[in-house]
Structure 1
Amino acid sequence: MDAELFYVLVGSISVAAFARWRGWPAPLLVTVTALAVSFLPFVPELKIDGHVLLNLVLPPLLYSAALDVSFVGFKRSLPQIRRLGIWLVLITALVVGLVAWWIFPSLTLPGALLLGAIVAPPDAVSAAAIGRKLGLPRRVMTVLSGESLINDATSLTLYRVFAAIIAGGAFQLGASIWEFVVAVVVGVVVGLVFGILLHQLRIRLDDPVVIGTFGLLVPFGAYAIAEHLGGSGVLAVVAMGLYVGYNAPRTDYTTRQQEAPLWLSADFLLESFVFAYIGLQLPRVISDLGRESVGEILLLAGVVLVVVLVVRPAYIYPAHAWAMWMQRIRLRRWERSLASGDWERRERLEQERSERFAAKHPEPAAAGRQRRRPTVDEVKARFTEPELSWKDNAVISWAGMRGVVTLATALAAADLAELDDEASHAIVVVAFAVTVGTLLLQGLTLPALIRGLGIASDVDEEQDAAELAAVRARTRQAGEEFIERKRAVWEEKYGAADLAVFDRFAKRMTRVEKDTDRAQETEDSVARPTYEDLVALSKGWLHVRREILLEERDAGNLDEELMRELITAMDAEELALDTRGATRPQSRA
C-alpha cells in the first residue's frame, strides 16, 4: 500500500506539473489521466477509508483556501455565500433524495436523502483554478471560494443526520435543526480559539520554520477537536483560516514569506492526489456494477447527474432576484425613516437615556453613547451585497463541479452496516458518476462559457487603479511625516553635519550602503550614523506604510487582495534590506 500510494503521488504530481507547464487545468487533466490509467491491468486498486481521506485531506485544503480568501469580501458577499453554501445544499439534497427514492425505492427514503447530502456540495478547486486563469471578476471568485468553504459543513452535517436515521434513529426536525446550530456554533468557536492562539504564536515567536510547522499541524487539531465536541470541523478550520489570514499582515514578514510557498506546495500535492484518487476509483465502480440491478443504477446515476446540473441554476436565478427585491425594500424603508424624522426621535430617546444614565453614573463613559445619523451611502453599504449580473450568475451556476468530499463520504457511507449491498453500491456508483461527470462536463466547458459571455475583471482593474492611487497618496504623506519626525531625532543625535546623509536616504532609499560608507569614512569625535541606523529608518518607513494599508483595508477603502499584493512588495523590500545587511562586510572599528 505504501508503494502504491507513492506511485500515485509521483504520477499525479507529474501530470499536474505538465498541465501547469502547458497552461491547462491541472485537476481535469489529472482526473482524465487517472481514468485512463485505471484500465491498465497492472495498476492496483487504491483503497482508502472515506473517513480517513476526509480527516487527512480536507483540513489542510480548507485552511489554505481560507487563508487566501478576503475576509472583507467574504463578509460583504456573505448573503450570497450563505444562499449557496447552506440553502442550495439543503435544496439539492432534498430534490436528489426524492428523485433517487422514486427511481430506486430499495434505497429507502433515508438512504436516498443520504445520497442527496453526499452529492450536494460542489468543490471549487477546479473552478477557482479556471477562474483565476481566465481573469474572472473578484466578486465572482469571492462567491465561489466562500461557497466552497461552508457548503461542506452543511453537507457533512446532513450526512450525520441521515446516517443516524439509517442506523435506527427517528427523524426529528427540531433535533436536527439543533444539531446543525450546535455544529455551527461549536465549530466557529473552536476555530476562533485556535486562530487566536496561532496568531499570538505567530507574532511572538521569531522562528518562521517553527511557525510554519505549527501552521501545518493546527488545522488537523482544530478539525478533530471540533468534531469530537459535536461541532463542524469544516467550520472550525474555515474560521481559523479566515482569522489568521485577516491578521497575517500584522505578523513578521519572514513568517509570510515562509508560509506562502509552503502552502502552495501542500495544495499542489493534495489536490493532485485527490483528483488522481477520484479517477482511480473507476475499477471499483465497474465491479459494483456487476449486479442484477445494473440498469437501474446506471439510470439513477444519469438522472441524478442531470438533476444536480439543473437544480443549481434553477435555484440561483430566482434566489438572486428575490434577494435584490428584498434589498430594495429595506433600502426604501431606511430612506423613509431618514426622511420622516424617525431617526431624530430615536436620537432624542437615546440622548434622554444617556442623560439619565449620566445622572446616576457621572463617569464620562455615557458621552460615547450618542448616535450619529447615518448617510445614505452608509445605509446602502450596510444593506447591499455586491451586484451580480446575469452573466456572473451563469458562471456561478455552471461552476458546480463535485470533488473529494462527495466521493469520500460515499465511500464512508458504503461501509455503513445498516445499508444493504445494493444500496451501498448504488451510492458509490452515483457519487462517482456525479463527481466525474461534473468535472468533465462543466470543467471542460466552463472556459468556453466564460470567454463566450465576455466576463472579465476590467471593473476590478479600474477600481484597483483608483484605490492604488488613493492609498499611494496617503502612504506618501505618512512617509513624509515619518521622515520629518526622524529628521529632528537624527539631527539631535548626530548633528547637522550628517543631515546630508539623511536627506539623500530620504529621497532615494536605495544606495544605502554607499551613503553609509561615506558617512563612516568621515573621522570625527562625534557619533556617526551607522548602516544599522539607516536600516532601522527604512524599516520604520515600511512599517508606517503597512499600517496605512491596514487602516485603508479595515475602513473598506482598499481591496484586501490588492493590499496583500502591496504588502508582498514591501516584504520583498524588507528582505532585501536584511539580505544586504547579512552579506555586507563588517564595519571597520
Structure 2
Amino acid sequence: MDGLLEVVILVAVAVLGVALARRLGMLAPILLVVGGLALSFVPGFPEVHLEPEMVLVGILPPLLYVAAIETSVPAFRFNLRPILLLAVGLVIFTALVVGFVLHMLLPEVPLSLCIALGAVLAPPDAVAATAIARRIGLPRRLVTILEGESLINDATALVLLRVATGAATGAAVGFLEIGRDIVIAAGGGIAVGAVGAVIIGFLHKKITDPLLDTALSLLTPFLIVMVAEEIHSSGVVAVVVAGLYLGHRMPTLMSAASRLQSDAFWQLTRFLLEGLVFLLVGLQLRDIVRELDTPWGEVAWITAAVIGTLIVTRFLWVFPSTYVPRLIPRIRQRDPFPPVSHPIVVGWAGMRGVVTLAAALALPATSEVEYPRDLFIWLAFAVIVVTLVLQGATLPAVARRLRLPQDETTQDALAEASVQNAASKAARDRLDELAGDGVPERVLHKLRDLGEHRVNKAWERLGGEGETPSRVYGRLRREMIDAERGVFRAARDEGRIPEEVLRRAQRDLDLEETMLHRTVEE
C-alpha cells in the first residue's frame, strides 16, 4: 500500500507541476526538475531511487514510440543527413572530447572510463527536445531535426558506452569487436523493428475492436524492446524503426475509432510519463549529494569544465556540419544554406534528460577499476539540471532574439485548401458513382452540401481576422448541443430514459462537438 501511495503522490505532484507551469507560462520540464530538487529535501517526502532498468526498458520505449509515430517520415527522410550528423557524429565527437578533457582533469582515471562518461553525457534527451522545441514554436524543420536527433542518439551513446566500459573492465576491444557491436546493435535493432512493425501492422489491420487496438499499441514498444535486448541489439533503434513505420501507415492500419482512442491514450500516457520523468530527475538530488565523496571545491570546477565543454563542443560540431556539406553543389541545390540563426538554435538546444542519469547509474561499480563513480553520477545529474534550466529556459528568448523565421501559416492553409479541394472532388466523383443505387435525392443533396462546406471551410482560413461563416456555424452548433445535453440529462434525472440511453446520446454529441472544436478555435 505504501508503494501505491508513493506512486499516487508522484503522479499528483507531476500533474500539479504541469498545471502550474501552464498557468505561469513556464516550460513544464524546467519547473518539474526544480520542484523535484526542492522536494528531495522535504522531510517525509517519498524517497525514489531511480533504477536504470526502469528508465531504459520501462519509461524510454513508450516515449520514443509515441514520438516516432508522430514523426513525419518524408520530413525525417529529407533531413536524414543533419539528423545522422547530430545523432551519430556529434555523439561520438562529444564523447571523445569530454573524455579527453575529463582525463586531463582526473589523470588517475582510465581514459576509457572518461570516454564512457562522455558517452553518457553526449546525447540530448528525446523527452526534453520534444517537450521544449514544440512548446516554444520553433520552425517545423528545426523541430524535425532535433526530434530526429534525439530519437537515434541514445542508441549511438549506449553502444559507445558498452564499448568504453568493456575496455575499462579488461574486455578485448578492437576494431573487429567494435564493428561487430555496431552491426549487432544498429543492424539488429533495424531488423527487429522492421519485422516487429510488419507483424504489429498485420495485427492492427485484423483487429476491429478499438480497445484491443489500443492495448496492442501499448504493448508494441515493450514487446519490441524486449526482443531487441534479448538478441543484444539496440532496443532504441528497434522501437524508433517500428514507430516510424507504423505511424506512417497508421491511416491504413487502424479504423477511425481505433485511431481516435489510441491517440487520446498516447496523449495521456506521454503527459504522465514526461511529467514523472522530470520530477524523478529532480528527486535524485538528495541521494546523489549524500553519496558524493569528492571535495566540493574539486567538484565545482570539474562540473563547470565538463558543462562548458559540452556546450562548446556542440557548437563546434553544429556549424561545420550545417555548412560544409552544402559546399557540394548537388547538396546545395537541393538544400540551400540556412540562415545562421538555425545552427545557433540547434547548438543551444542541447538539453539532457533522464536517459543520461540512468546511463550514469548503470556505470559499473566494480573493484576491478578504481574511479570516482559518485562524481561521475553527480556530473551526469548536474549536466541535466544545468542544460534544462539554463538552455531550456533561455531557448525561447534566444529564438526571439534571433528573430527566427516562423513557419508560414498561410502557406500551410493554402496547401490544405488545395488538397481538400482535390479530396472533395474525389468524394463527389465517388458519390456520383453510387447515386444510381436508389439513394434518395435529399440524401445526395445533403452529402454534396457537406463536401462543399469542407472545401469552403478550408479556403476561409486564408481570409481575414473576422468571424467566418464556418466559425459562426461551429459556435452556434455548440450552443445547440449544450441545449440538447440539458434535455437528455433532465430526462435521465426524471426517470424517463435509462442511464445507457443518456450515455449513448452524450457520446454522439461529444463526438460532434469534438469535430466542431477545430472550427471554433481556428
TM-score class, shorter: 0.7 to 0.9
Alignment correspondent of 1:430: 379
Percent identity of paired positions between Structure 1 and Structure 2 = 36
1:266 and 2:269 equivalent? yes
Which of these two proteins has the greater Rg computed from alpha carbons? 1
Instruction: Measure, in 2, the Cα distance between the counterparts of 1:21 and 1:262.
Output: 24
Residues 219-263 of structure 1: CA deviation (Å, up to 9, x unaligned): 111111112212110000000110110011112111110111111
Change (3 A) 1:478 1:15: same
Instruction: Measure, in 2, the Cα distance between the counterparts of 1:224 and 1:507.
Output: 50
* CA contact 1:124–1:401 (8 Å) conserved in 2: no
1:507 and 2:448 equivalent? yes
Residues 348-388 of structure 1: CA deviation (Å, up to 9, x unaligned): xxxxxxxxxxxxxxxxxxxxxxxxxxxxxxxx6xxx34763
Q: Which moved more, 1:448-457 or 1:121-130?
A: 121-130
Deviation at 1:87, TM superposition (A): 0.3
Change (3 A) 1:257 1:299: same
Alignment correspondent of 1:148: 150
The counterpart of 1:469, out of the listed 417, 423, 428, is: 417
Amino acid at match of 1:430: L
Amino acid at match of 2:385: V
The counterpart of 1:209, out of the listed 211, 217, 222, is: 211
The counterpart of 1:9, out of the listed 3, 8, 11, is: 11
Instruction: Measure, in 2, the Cα distance between the counterparts of 1:385 and 1:287.
Output: 51
Instruction: Measure, in 2, the Cα distance between the counterparts of 1:54 and 1:256.
Output: 27
Alignment correspondent of 1:336: none
Instruction: Measure, in 2, the Cα distance between the counterparts of 1:43 and 1:166.
Output: 38
Residues 252-305 of structure 1: CA deviation (Å, up to 9, x unaligned): 1111101111111111111111111111111122123344x4433332221111
1:391 and 2:332 equivalent? no
* CA contact 2:140–2:407 (8 Å) conserved in 1: no
Deviation at 1:168, TM superposition (A): 1.5
SS at match of 1:107: coil
Instruction: Measure, in 1, the Cα distance between the counterparts of 2:449 and 2:226.
Output: 52
1:451 and 2:400 equivalent? yes
Instruction: Measure, in 2, the Cα distance between the counterparts of 1:233 and 1:303.
Output: 32
Deviation at 1:210, TM superposition (A): 1.1
Deviation at 1:44, TM superposition (A): 4.6
Amino acid at match of 1:62: L
1:412 and 2:362 equivalent? yes
Instruction: Measure, in 2, the Cα distance between the counterparts of 1:259 and 1:386.
Output: 39
Deviation at 1:315, TM superposition (A): 0.7
Alignment correspondent of 2:109: 107
Alignment correspondent of 2:499: none
Change (3 A) 1:11 1:190: same
Instruction: Measure, in 1, the Cα distance between the counterparts of 2:92 and 2:234.
Output: 16
* CA contact 2:63–2:127 (8 Å) conserved in 1: no
Instruction: Measure, in 1, the Cα distance between the counterparts of 2:36 and 2:50.
Output: 16
* CA contact 2:293–2:375 (8 Å) conserved in 1: no
1:278 and 2:281 equivalent? yes
* CA contact 1:414–1:428 (8 Å) conserved in 2: no
Amino acid at match of 1:408: A
Structure 2, gaps ≥5 residues long: 456-473, 475-503, 513-522
Q: Which moved more, 1:12-21 or 1:109-118?
A: 12-21
* CA contact 2:50–2:280 (8 Å) conserved in 1: no
Instruction: Measure, in 2, the Cα distance between the counterparts of 1:429 and 1:67.
Output: 34
Change (3 A) 1:314 1:86: same
Amino acid at match of 2:81: P
Superposed CA RMSD: 2.6
1:185-196 equivalent positions in 2, closer than 5 A: 185-196=187-198
Instruction: Measure, in 2, the Cα distance between the counterparts of 1:86 and 1:411.
Output: 23
* CA contact 1:77–1:385 (8 Å) conserved in 2: no
Instruction: Measure, in 1, the Cα distance between the counterparts of 2:68 and 2:442.
Output: 45
Amino acid at match of 1:288: E
Alignment correspondent of 1:486: 434
1:125 and 2:73 equivalent? no
Amino acid at match of 2:140: R
Amino acid at match of 1:432: F
TM-score normalised per structure 1: 0.74
* CA contact 1:202–1:255 (8 Å) conserved in 2: no
Amino acid at match of 1:271: E
The counterpart of 1:91, out of the listed 87, 90, 93, is: 93
Amino acid at match of 1:446: L
* CA contact 2:41–2:286 (8 Å) conserved in 1: yes
* CA contact 1:401–1:435 (8 Å) conserved in 2: yes
Instruction: Measure, in 1, the Cα distance between the counterparts of 2:337 and 2:144.
Output: 12
Deviation at 1:401, TM superposition (A): 0.4
Deviation at 1:415, TM superposition (A): 3.5
Deviation at 1:173, TM superposition (A): 2.3
Residues 386-411 of structure 1: CA deviation (Å, up to 9, x unaligned): 76321121111111000011000101
TM-score normalised per structure 2: 0.83
Change (3 A) 1:396 1:330: closer
Structure 1, gaps ≥5 residues long: 332-379, 511-537, 546-568, 570-574, 584-589
Deviation at 1:124, TM superposition (A): 4.1
Instruction: Measure, in 1, the Cα distance between the counterparts of 2:344 and 2:28.
Output: 23
